[in-house]
Amino acid sequence: MLGVDLPIFAEKHGKIALSDPLNCVPRVTPLVIWSDDQYLPWSEEEREMLAESEEDRKLLERFPSGVHMRPEGGADSPILLILWTYDMDSVEPVFPITFDMNYPEIVLRGMSTVIPALRSYFHKIPRYTLDGGYYMKTRENRLLAGPLPVDGAYVCGAFSGYGIMASPAASELLAAHITGSALPHYAPAFSLSRYDDPAYQKLLDNWGASGQL
């Protein structure tokens, strides 16, 4: 609408709210994150069956790190939230959003690597709800907050998966830009103009992990 191209893209993120009737995960368990790549745990018979189909063979490949889980609700709640963005390709947002039909089983098996008790559900996955949406993010997963190259226009976005945590500070930074107040020393790091800086471009080429779950 303003004729400005923002360096952001959409990434699909899903989660399952899974019932845990066997109490495999104590309710006092904190957020648990598995930070290693892994192969999903399959029996030999399952591996042979999956290998027969080109479409299913991908389930035998190495999956990236990042599967994570936490209990949801109070002491009497049976719900676990399990999330895993194993497909990190940029996508064109469509609505309603759709997910891989194997997503619930993939995240359950991935989480069982760190919580083996969850393997009790391999042959009959308990009741679950699958939901999710899109993360809008920059290449380096650093938000945008500052002026646009159009007089009187500003941006505050690309919060990816950390908007609840970062939006108050980003809003304060944006307000300083709009009101002409003194800017903090880190303001250029979140400005759109950072991409015009050759030094920052060089930094991007060696950025490494973005920290996104």
Tens digits of residue pLDDT in 86-134? 988 899 999 999 998 999 999 999 999 999 999 999 999 999 999 999 9
Would you call the peptide bond into 96 cis, given omega within 30 degrees of 0 as the criterion?
A: yes
Based on the fold, state whether residues 94 and 168 are members of the same structural domain: no
Same domain, 133 and 148: no
Say if residues 158 and 136 touch (Cβ distance below 8 Å). Answer: yes
Count of structural domains within the chain: 2
Both 100 and 153 in a single domain? no
Confidence of residue 206 (pLDDT cuts 50, 70, 90): confident
Is 5 a member of any domain?
no
Mean pLDDT, all residues of the chain = 93
Question: Does residue 2 fall inside a structural domain?
Answer: no
Helices H / strands E in the chain, number of each? 4, 8
Q: Which band of pLDDT confidence, cut at 50, 70 and 90, is reported for residue 28? A: very high
| 112 and 131 together in one domain | yes
Domain boundaries, position 159: 144-205
User: Would 185 be classed as within a structural domain?
Assistant: yes
